[in-house]
Amino acid sequence: MAGKKPVLVPVLGDQLTRTLASLRGRAKDDTVILMMEVWDEATYVKHHKQKIALIFSAMRHFADDLRDAGWSVDYITLTDPDNAHSFTGEVARAAERHDPRAIHITEPGEWRVRQAVEEWPDKFACDVEIFADDRFIASIAEFRDWADGRKTLRMENFYQEMRKKSGLLMVDGKPEGGKWNYDAENREPPKKGLSAPERFKPEPDAITREVLELVAEKFADHFGELEPFRWPVTREEAEEAADRFFAERLADFGTYQDAMVHGEDDLFHSMLSTSINIGLLDPMELCQRAQKAYHDGDAPLNAVEGFIRQIIGWREYVRGFYWYHMPGLARDNAMDAQRSLPEFYWTGETDMRCIADSVRSTRENAHAHHIQRLMVLGNFALIAGIHPRAVEDWFLVVYADAFEWVELPNVAAMALYADGGKLASKPYAASGNYINKMSDYCKKCRYSPSVKTGEDACPFGPLYWHFMERHRDRLQSNHRIGRIYANWDRMDADKRRDYLDTAETFLEGLTPASEGWARSG
């Protein structure tokens, strides 16, 4: 690099992809890659300990991988005494060290970081170029073009566009099997004793063990168990996890997608979201592998279409939706929910067995599967009227796969209806009957879904009616949910009063979480 000013390429903790847009086509002898462990990112919310360990370990492995491939990598560790502890501060220091002719960065995934990066051209003397993140099938601009002028945005319509664009499960321009969506086959309750083959759980190597020590020391007051830590931290490990998923669990992925079983934390889910979100796995490649499994007769269409829909449908859709509606989405509170987050979201100490088990899995694994997130933890927060900010912070803290671009639309819009219906046509509110049908939680719960009111009633029932009654003005006219009011209005007045009293007594008995779990100071 002698004599020639290099290009500085900052690579963020969720950009661990060799073919990243800002790296692709670059000459190694003309490039300095900058990677930074910074306090600001590790603590803007107090992430689960495993999430910090995952990012730092994967970053360190990726840096080694790049160096082995001949790249020049400037890696700043958290304990570097001169660490400025912010992306901008570290890029400024690196600019002094390397005197770059330009800074090239792939667009950050989160609004907060993008805002900071957009100030770089004014802060730094050299050119700053921001590259679109083409690890997604649809660019932010493409989603905007699709969304502009539509009265309603719905995942299903967008998903069909993504199927056509990608060619996945398409035959002569038509959907494989004649239908776009096989969700109706993907709602099987768990049969007795349902369990799945164990996923691939890599052993921590020396790099990960060093990171685990660092996290134990520096982030002791953050939520969650640090060990056992079993997330893939390299592309090779992530690929092995994917191989095992395709060979052993994809075939049942669809059928049991919505099932919940006490103590069975993974079931037939892929457990690949962390690896996809930080860049170790390519989403399109995974979809192609799923499609091949269908063509080879190794997995049925309902499983394969379901898996592909989660990735090129939901994942792409929420990402576009996030950028389309930010920054307003982070402030939305259409249901005027004002209650504090109950303490049991952090401690798991509640007699509600579904919540206790979901929080346990969250604490132990930095993971809970979709239906636990949506229909247990999200649904409770919705019908109990918990303030969206508190719920959003919680979800951003506790999951190893949580980055705001994917967390916020799922929480604010899908689970809490805080966007007032921009993402979903109705709130995902449900009584305990849904959880009872789709899980084995209720049989051994201290509450019962068949008891409707009073202190033994499953709280989800009375809270559901309380929610519906609180929001009658808004929801009665909604054609997908409004007819529920006919059932409610048919009940006699005493029964309705009992429901509402039971809900109110329950809500009054909730202990709010103490400050400081999600954010410092």
Task: Give the footprint of ligand DLZ on this chain (CB under 6 A).
Answer: 12-14, 36-38, 41-42, 47, 52, 55, 108-110, 113, 403
**Residue 231, contacted partner among ligand SF4, ligand DLZ, ligand FAD, none, CB below 5-8 A by kind:** none
3-state secondary structure of 161: helix
Residue pair 461/452 in contact (Cβ under 8 Å)? The answer is: yes
Interaction with ligand FAD in 390-419: which residues (CB under 6 A)?
395, 399, 401-402, 406-407, 410-411, 414-415
Residue pair 28/5 in contact (Cβ under 8 Å)? The answer is: no
Task: Please identify, using beta-carbon distances, which residue of 269 and 466 lies nearer to ligand FAD.
Answer: 269
Indicate whether 435 belongs to the interface with ligand SF4 (CB under 6 A).
yes
Indicate whether 358 belongs to the interface with ligand FAD (CB under 6 A).
no
Indicate whether 460 belongs to the interface with ligand SF4 (CB under 6 A).
yes
**Rounded Cα distance, 361 and 367, in Å:** 6
Cβ neighbours of 75 (radius 10 Å): 18
**Residue 411, contacted partner among ligand SF4, ligand FAD, ligand DLZ, none, CB below 5-8 A by kind:** ligand FAD
Cα–Cα–Cα angle for 160, 164, 165, nearest 5°?
A: 115
Tokens of 328: 């307003």
Measured over all CA atoms, what is the biggest interatomic distance in the chain, rounded to whole angstroms? 86
**Rounded Cα distance, 295 and 59, in Å:** 36
3-state secondary structure of 303: helix
Indicate whether 354 belongs to the interface with ligand SF4 (CB under 6 A).
yes
Instruction: Please spell the DSSP secondary structure of 111-143, one letter per residue.
Output: HHHHHHHHTHHHH-SSEEEEE--TTSSS-HHHH
**Residue 460, contacted partner among ligand FAD, ligand DLZ, ligand SF4, none, CB below 5-8 A by kind:** ligand SF4
**Residue 447, contacted partner among ligand FAD, ligand SF4, ligand DLZ, none, CB below 5-8 A by kind:** ligand SF4
**Residue 109, contacted partner among ligand FAD, ligand SF4, ligand DLZ, none, CB below 5-8 A by kind:** ligand DLZ
**Rounded Cα distance, 405 and 398, in Å:** 15
CA dihedral 246, 249, 266, 281 (to 10 degrees): 10
Task: Please identify, using beta-carbon distances, which residue of 384 and 396 lies nearer to ligand SF4.
Answer: 384
Tokens of 121: 């051209």
Task: Please identify, using beta-carbon distances, which residue of 56 and 268 lies nearer to ligand FAD.
Answer: 268
Supply the minimum distance, in Å, between the C-beta of residue 88 and ligand DLZ. Answer: 12
**Residue 314, contacted partner among ligand SF4, ligand FAD, ligand DLZ, none, CB below 5-8 A by kind:** ligand FAD
Burial class of residue 27 in the structure, from the number of CB atoms within 10 Å of its CB (0-12 exposed, 13-18 middle, 19+ buried): exposed
Residue pair 386/341 in contact (Cβ under 8 Å)? The answer is: yes
Indicate whether 353 belongs to the interface with ligand SF4 (CB under 6 A).
yes
Indicate whether 237 belongs to the interface with ligand FAD (CB under 6 A).
no
Supply the minimum distance, in Å, between the C-beta of residue 156 and ligand FAD. Answer: 13
Interaction with ligand FAD in 144-173: which residues (CB under 6 A)?
none
3-state secondary structure of 457: strand
Looking at the chain, how many residues does it have?
A: 521
Q: Where are the alpha helices (DSSP H) in 422-492?
A: 432-438, 460-470, 472-475, 484-490
**Residue 276, contacted partner among ligand SF4, ligand FAD, ligand DLZ, none, CB below 5-8 A by kind:** ligand FAD
Which residues of the chain form contacts with ligand FAD (CB under 6 A)? 269-273, 276-277, 307, 310-311, 314-315, 318, 369-370, 373-374, 378, 395, 399, 401-402, 406-407, 410-411, 414-415
Which residues of the chain form contacts with ligand SF4 (CB under 6 A)? 352-354, 432, 435-436, 441-442, 445, 447-449, 458-460
